[in-house]
Amino acid sequence: MDICCLTDYQALMEEDGLDGHGIYYYVPELLNHFTASEINALIAPRAHLGLAGT
């Protein structure tokens, strides 16, 4: 389960969108090893629940 965190870090950086996320979104050294899409691909074929709210 995630809290609407399917966006790649690179896309957030390109759009100056990092300020909209708290410390929960950051994993040290993650960008040196994986992208968000690669991590999400590891979930398949298991069930996945993504939560988003307003």
Q: Which residues contact 49 (CB under 8 A, 6 or more apart)?
A: 1, 2
Whole-structure pTM value:
0.52
Respond yes or no on whether the N-terminal peptide bond of residue 45 is cis (omega within 30° of 0): yes
Q: How confident is the model at residue 4 (pLDDT cuts 50, 70, 90)?
A: low
Tens of pLDDT, residue by residue over 12-36, are 888 887 777 766 667 788 778 888 7
The whole-number pLDDT of residue 44 equals 83
41 phi, psi to nearest 5 deg? -65, -25
Tell me the pLDDT tens digit for each residue of 32-53: 888 878 888 888 889 888 787 7
The alpha carbon of residue 50 and the mean position of all alpha carbons in its chain are separated, in whole angstroms, by 11
